[in-house]
């Protein structure tokens, strides 16, 4: 049985990946510092699984992280430990630099130290973002060779980490692969993010905040499909390469809101005059459009997404309806105060 370390495994994508790997009969070691973005509710169903171990640990604690690697000798590591909310990065950039850059450095150094005294090869799949490419012109989509042009402290920290990983591959022959995924959505995502924010506010009879005019275009992938892509990258991805993960489905933010309103109506959710779109001041440096070319992962690794946007949004809405305790366990400051900047 192969052993896998998942960092950030109490978070949104991380917990879904843990679940997916357990289903595929991997032994999973979950490492998470349990910060605001982690939620014990996300992993409650795994605790009694004999193939699952949890360590409460910050990846910036290199000594303890190295000890876990030496103890378990995993076959691979999926790094999802990261600060991810763009608004927060504009308010407080330091935490993003510390975790997203120095945290990756610590993982790389831990693996480099391990490789000096062990013959076993540990493959690191680093989960990055399509935001590293910056604003993409209309009618254009970018492949993995496109120059990075990040617009926010968040995307800059992820871009810096990607470059560090590539440098370690060239200098030390580190066994790394980078996944540049488009916007994920699905179960267990914090309501400070766009789609769960809409759902939460509909269920709580609140207005729906929307940046600018709602014309920003994003590419969306259901989190389960993303997990399948990540496993493909681990199993077959070429060392030192990037793989874009996208669906080709690009939608304006306002259209997402309309789609979720329609789903709510089908689920017989009652509306009031308060359930209106509230346009809020746009954030600085807000990218207008993301669009990735995912031909590499489709052709080389034979990956295809399985879930349409309509199907994924329906699944997501139903999960939140059936897991209202999830909302209760998330502090109000994380739910209600993050759409729109403090500065």
Which residues are known catalytic residues? 130-131, 154
Nearest to 99 by CA among 82, 123, 111, 78: 82
User: 290 near 133, Cβ under 8 Å?
Assistant: yes
Q: CA 198 to CA 208: how far, in whole Å?
A: 6
Helices (H), 152-222: 153-172, 194-203
User: 326 near 41, Cβ under 8 Å?
Assistant: yes
Q: C-alpha dihedral over 213, 202, 260, 133, to 10 degrees?
A: 50
Token couple for 337: 């105060």
Query: How is 22-75 classified by DSSP, letter by letter?
Result: HHTT-EEEEEE---TT--GGGGTTTTT-TTEEEEE--TT-HHHHHHHHHHH--S
């Amino acid at each position: 049985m192969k052993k896998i370390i998942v960092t950030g495994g109490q978070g949104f994508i991380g917990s879904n990946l843990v679940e997916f790997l357990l289903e595929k009969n991997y032994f999973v070691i979950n490492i998470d510092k349990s910060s605001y973005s982690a939620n014990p509710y996300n992993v409650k169903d795994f605790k009694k699984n004999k193939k699952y171990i949890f360590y409460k640990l910050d990846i910036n604690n290199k000594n303890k992280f190295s000890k876990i690697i030496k103890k378990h000798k995993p076959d691979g590591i999926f790094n999802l430990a990261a600060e991810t909310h763009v608004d927060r990065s504009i308010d407080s950039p330091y935490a993003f630099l510390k975790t997203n850059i120095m945290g990756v450095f610590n993982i790389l150094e831990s693996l480099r130290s391990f490789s000096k005294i062990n013959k076993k090869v540990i493959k690191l799949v680093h989960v990055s973002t399509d935001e590293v490419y910056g604003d993409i012109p209309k009618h254009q989509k970018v492949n993995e060779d496109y120059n990075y042009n990040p617009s926010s402290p968040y995307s800059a920290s992820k871009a810096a980490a990607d470059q560090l990983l590539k440098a370690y591959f060239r200098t030390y022959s580190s066994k790394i692969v980078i996944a540049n995924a488009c916007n994920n959505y699905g179960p267990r995502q914090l309501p400070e993010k766009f789609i769960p924010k809409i759902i939460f506010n509909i269920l709580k009879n609140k207005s729906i905040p929307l940046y600018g005019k709602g014309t920003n275009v994003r590419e969306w992938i259901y989190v389960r499909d993303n997990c399948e892509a990540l496993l493909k990258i681990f199993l077959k991805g070429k060392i030192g390469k990037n793989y874009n993960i996208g669906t080709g489905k690009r939608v304006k933010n306002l259209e997402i809101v309309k789609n979720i309103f329609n789903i709510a109506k089908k689920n017989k959710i009652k509306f009031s005059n308060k359930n209106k779109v509230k346009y809020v001041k746009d954030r600085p440096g807000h990218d207008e459009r993301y669009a990735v070319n995912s031909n590499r992962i489709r052709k080389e690794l034979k990956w295809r997404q399985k879930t349409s946007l309509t199907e994924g949004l329906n699944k997501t809405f139903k999960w939140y309806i059936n897991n209202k305790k999830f909302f209760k366990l998330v502090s109000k400051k994380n739910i209600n105060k993050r759409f729109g900047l403090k500065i």
